[in-house]
Structure 1
Amino acid sequence: MMEDMKQKLLIILMVYALFQLKTSEGIEHRMVYVNGINMHVAEEGQGPVVLLIHGFPELWYTWRHQIVSLAAKGFRAVAPDLRGYGDTKPSTAVNNSTYFHIVGDLIALIDNLGVEKVFVVGHDWGAVIAWYLCLFRPDKVKALVNLSVVFQPRNPSRKPIETLRAIYGNDYYIIRFQEPGKMEAEFAQCSTANVLKKLLTYHNPGPFIIPRNTSFSSDGPYHLPSWLSEEDVNYYARKYNQTGFTGALNYYRALDLNWELTAAWTGKKVEIPVKFIVGDLDLTYNSPGTKEFIHGDGFKSYVPFLEEVVVMKGVGHFIHEERADETSAHIYNFIEKF
C-alpha cells in the first residue's frame, strides 16, 4: 500500500513539475488531456500557432531550436511528445498507433489551443503524420512545411512491409523493427545513450541495415557531430530509459494496419500549400525512385499546391538539428506569407 502511495505521489509531482517548468530559453511545458491520453506539450511565443511534429527516435526536444526561433518572430510554437513518446502517456499498442489515433490526438490538441487552423511542420514520422493530418483534416491546416519524408501514395496492390522486404531484405531497419519485443531486447543489451547515438548520428545516404546476431551498437564508439551534444543525447536517453522503445517502435509495426485502414484515401491529393525540405545525404531522399518522384511530375501530381522543394547539400536525415538556423529560416520564410 505504501509503495502504491509513493508511486502515485511521484506521478503527481512529475505532472506538477511539468506544468511549472520553464527551460532557460523560456520554453514552457504542460500536460494536456486530449483524445483520452495525457499529452506533454512544449511551447513558447504568442501569435499564429505552428505545430511541430517529431519523428523517431526524437521527442519534442528535437524542435528546441525552431521553437525559440519561431517564438522570436511572432509565432506560438507548439511541440508535443506524440503518444507513446516521452512524457505523453500511455504507451501505445500496435492497434492504437495508427494514423487515425495520432492525427486524432493532434486535432484534439489544436482544439485545446483554441484556434481553428495551424501551420504544421513535420519531420520523419512527424512528416508522415503531417501528410495524413492534411489528408484527413485539411480544414485545420493553413500550410505545411515537411522535412525529409516525401508524400508516399498508397499502393493498393502491395502492403508496405512486403514491399520494403522485397527491396531491402530482412535486415532493413523497418523489417527488423516488426517483431514485438525483439528490437527492444537488442537495444537493452546496449546503453540507451549508445543506441540513440547510433540512430541520431547516422549520416549515410544508403539504407539503414541492422545485421542480425550482432550487438546493435557494436560499431561504436560514436563521435558526436557539432550539432548534437552529450547533453542532448542524455536528455533523450533519460526519457527512453523511463518509457522504453516499444511505444515508438509500434508506429513501424502499424504500417500494414495503416495500409488497410486508409484504403478509402487511395489516390487522394494533399490540397494544402506545401514546402518540402530534404538533405541530399538523407537516406529517405536516396531510396529507390524518390528523387525521380520529387523532381519529376509525381510529387506535384499528388501535392498540387507544392510551392517549393529545397535540397540542402551535405546534410543528412536530422536536417532541423544539423542545419537548425537554416531550417528555421526556411520555415519562417514560407509560413509568414500566409
Structure 2
Amino acid sequence: MATEKIEHSQLPIRGLNLHIAHIGATGSPTVVFLHGFPEIWYTWRYQMLAVAAAGFRAIAPDFRGYGLSDQPPEPEKASWKDLDDDLLAILDSLSVPKAFIVAKDFGAMAAYNFALLHPDRVSGVVTLGIPFISEAFSSAFTEIPEGYYLSRWRVPGRAEADFGRLEVKTVVRNIYILFSGSEFPNAKEDQEIMDLVDPSTPLPPWFSEEDLAVYASLYEKSGFRYALQMPYRSLKESLGITNPKVEVPVLLIMGGKDYVLKLAGYEDYIRSGMVKEFVPNLDIKFIEEGSHFVQEQYPDEVNELIVSFLKNQI
C-alpha cells in the first residue's frame, strides 16, 4: 500500500503542535478524518488514499494528546470544546473554508458537535460506528454494566493500573482483538479489561504485526494519560447545545457485527430510523460482517461508500 505518498506536517494550533497526515491537491475539496480510540491518523490510511485518488484532499489529524501531536499541559482538563476549537483552527490554518468530515468512534461525536456549532464550515459528515445521540436522548443508552470497559475506564487510576501491567504494544494488541469481536466486552468482578484477552489470541487477519507496530510506537510516545480523559472521562461534559439537529448531509456506516450494537436500545435506534429525528438528511449503510474497525477490515467497501457520498455532495 502506498502510504509513503501520505505527507506529514506539524501545525501550531492554540499553543500546541498538532500533527496532520495529508495527501491531495491543495485546491481540491477537503475531507478531514477524525480517529477514535485506540486509533491515530494511521487508521484512515486506506480511506485517505482512496479519496485522494477520487480528486479530494485528505487531512487526518492526530487529536491533541494522541500520536504525534503534543500533549496538553493539563490532560485531566480534557474538553470536547478543545477538540472543536482545534478543528476550527486547523481549517483556518490551512485556509479551508468548508470541509467534509469523516469520523469514527469518539471522533464521530466531535464531528457532530462541529457540524452543530459550525454548519457553515461543513459540507457533509460520514461517521462509522457511532450515530448521533443528543444529550437529552443519551439516557436511553445508560444501561451499562459495571464490568463494561466504558464503566471501568471512567474510574481514575483503574485503567492505568490495568494497562501498566503490560507493554504498550500488548495493550494496543489486546484492545484491537477485544474491540474487533462481536461480543460485548464485559469483565467479571475479579477481572480487569486486559484479562479478557487470552495472550495466545492472534490479531484479526486484516490487522498485521506491522500495523500494530505503527500504533504501538505512537502510544509509546503519547502514553494513555490523555486518551483515558478524552473520551472516557469526559463523556458527560455538556456543550450546552439545546434542541440539536444536524442539518448537513450525513452518512452513517455501521458494521453489522460491531459489539456496540449490543448496548441496550442502540441497534433499534439506528435500524428503526429513530436517529433521523436528530439527523434528517441521513443515509444509513450496514456492512453486515463488519466489526468496530470496519474501515480497516473492509476498506474497499467503506471507501466506495465514502467516495460515492462525497461525489454526490459536490
> Structure 1 residues 270 and 315 mapped into 2: Cα distance closer, same or farther (>3 Å)?
same
Gaps of 5+ in 2: none
Q: Following TM superposition, by how much is the alpha carbon of 1:222 offset from its aligned partner in structure 2, in angstroms?
A: 2.6
Q: Counterparts of 2:160 and 2:175 in 1: how far apart (Å)?
A: 14
Residues 145-182 of structure 1: per-residue CA shift (max 9 Å, x gap): 11100111112896x9xx74xx2322111111122232
Residues 20-39 of structure 1: per-residue CA shift (max 9 Å, x gap): xxx85311001001122210
Worse-matched range after superposition: 204-213 or 53-62: 204-213
What is the number of equivalent residue pairs in this alignment? 306
Determine whether 1:279 maps to 2:255. Answer: yes
In the alignment, which residue of structure 2 is the partner of 1:137? 118
Determine which of 282, 302, 306 is the counterpart of 1:327: 302
SS in 1 for 2:82: helix
SS in 1 for 2:257: coil
Determine which of 285, 289, 305 is the counterpart of 1:310: 285
Determine which of 102, 105, 115 is the counterpart of 2:96: 115
Q: Counterparts of 1:92 and 1:225 in 2: how far apart (Å)?
A: 36
Worse-matched range after superposition: 210-219 or 173-182: 210-219
Could you tell me which amino acid in structure 1 is paired with residue 254 of structure 2?
V
Q: Following TM superposition, by how much is the alpha carbon of 1:92 offset from its aligned partner in structure 2, in angstroms?
A: 6.5
Tell me if the contact between 1:204 and 1:283 (Cα under 8 Å) persists in the aligned partners.
yes
In the alignment, which residue of structure 2 is the partner of 1:31? 10
What aligned pairs does 1:285-304 form with structure 2 within 5 A after superposition?
285-304=261-280
In the alignment, which residue of structure 1 is the partner of 2:173? 197
> Structure 1 residues 174 and 92 mapped into 2: Cα distance closer, same or farther (>3 Å)?
farther
Tell me if the contact between 1:93 and 1:250 (Cα under 8 Å) persists in the aligned partners.
no
SS in 1 for 2:261: coil
Q: Counterparts of 1:333 and 1:37 in 2: how far apart (Å)?
A: 35
What aligned pairs does 1:37-186 form with structure 2 within 5 A after superposition?
37-46=16-25, 47-91=28-72, 93=74, 96-155=77-136, 164=142, 167-186=143-162
Report the structure number with the largest CA radius of gyration: 1
- Aligned-pair identity in percent equals 34
Tell me if the contact between 1:206 and 1:287 (Cα under 8 Å) persists in the aligned partners.
no
> Structure 1 residues 92 and 55 mapped into 2: Cα distance closer, same or farther (>3 Å)?
farther
SS in 1 for 2:267: helix
Q: CA RMSD in A?
A: 2.0
> Structure 1 residues 156 and 330 mapped into 2: Cα distance closer, same or farther (>3 Å)?
closer
Q: Counterparts of 1:201 and 1:91 in 2: how far apart (Å)?
A: 29
Q: Following TM superposition, by how much is the alpha carbon of 1:94 offset from its aligned partner in structure 2, in angstroms?
A: 5.4
Tell me if the contact between 2:129 and 2:258 (Cα under 8 Å) persists in the aligned partners.
yes
Tell me if the contact between 1:51 and 1:118 (Cα under 8 Å) persists in the aligned partners.
yes
Tell me if the contact between 1:110 and 1:116 (Cα under 8 Å) persists in the aligned partners.
yes
Residues 271-322 of structure 1: per-residue CA shift (max 9 Å, x gap): 110011001111222322122211224211100111x210111111001000
Determine whether 1:336 maps to 2:311. Answer: yes
